[in-house]
């Protein structure tokens, strides 16, 4: 009987420790390995003491990433420069993490007949990634939204193992004096390797 009681207590503790998070309303779990992560709301762990979203690896080794994301129509931002701001915290991130924003065009048909969304601009902070253990850090992404844009996707991602928290996500239209944080994917650049 005592053995059964100990097993029941151990199972209860295991359940408490490994209970998944509540997915925030309006957000979607995605990525190349979404099942390798727990994602959702971590109550009271935000930059300002309120709630934050979190992505936490649940496998010992991961070659891929998980993201918590949203999409919205680009209509009201066409022809404008859009800045995404948020705060990101990391714990034992072995590969990299960051906020990301992508400007999508209409769907295009590939030679095999499949359709895919055309990416116009993307910044996932790879060139200024968050790594290791870092307290809340302000992150910014600035992208142009051309007239051909149809959709804006954004979120936070964790590649590899560790845990991240993010909150205080805001969007703001900025002027051309604010530089973009990435360049177009539509044409070749730096062919002479001078940059």
Of 73, 75, 42, 77, the C-alpha closest to 56 is 42
Start-to-end Cα distance in the chain: 72
Model pLDDT for residues 153-176, shown as the tens digit of each residue? 999 999 999 999 999 999 999 999
* Domains parsed from the chain with CATH numbers: 21-174 (2.60.120.260)
pTM of the model: 0.82
What is the torsion angle, in degrees rounded to the nearest 10, for the CA atoms of residue 98, residue 103, residue 106 and residue 111?
-50
User: Are the beta carbons of 150 and 73 closer than 8 angstroms?
Assistant: yes
Model pLDDT for residues 12-67, shown as the tens digit of each residue? 334 334 447 899 999 999 999 999 999 999 999 999 889 999 999 999 999 999 99
Average pLDDT, the chain: 87
DSSP class of 22: B
């Amino acid at each position: 009987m005592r053995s059964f009681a100990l097993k029941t207590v151990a199972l209860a503790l295991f359940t408490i420790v490994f209970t998944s998070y509540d997915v925030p309303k309006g957000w979607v779990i995605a990525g190349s390995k979404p099942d390798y992560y727990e994602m959702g709301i971590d109550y009271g762990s935000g930059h300002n003491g309120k709630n934050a979203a979190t992505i936490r690896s649940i496998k010992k080794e991961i070659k891929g990433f998980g993201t918590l994301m949203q999409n919205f129509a680009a209509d009201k931002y066409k022809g404008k420069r859009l800045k995404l701001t948020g705060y990101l915290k990391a714990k034992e991130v072995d590969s990299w993490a960051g906020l990301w924003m992508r400007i999508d065009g209409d769907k295009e048909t590939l030679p095999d007949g499949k359709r895919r969304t055309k990416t116009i601009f993307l910044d996932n902070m790879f060139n200024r990634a968050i790594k290791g253990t870092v307290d809340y850090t302000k992150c910014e992404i600035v992208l142009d939204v051309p007239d051909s844009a149809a959709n804006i996707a954004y979120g936070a991602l964790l590649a590899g193992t560790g845990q991240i928290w993010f909150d205080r996500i805001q969007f703001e239209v900025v002027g051309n004096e604010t530089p973009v944080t990435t360049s177009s994917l539509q044409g070749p650049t730096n062919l002479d390797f001078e940059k």
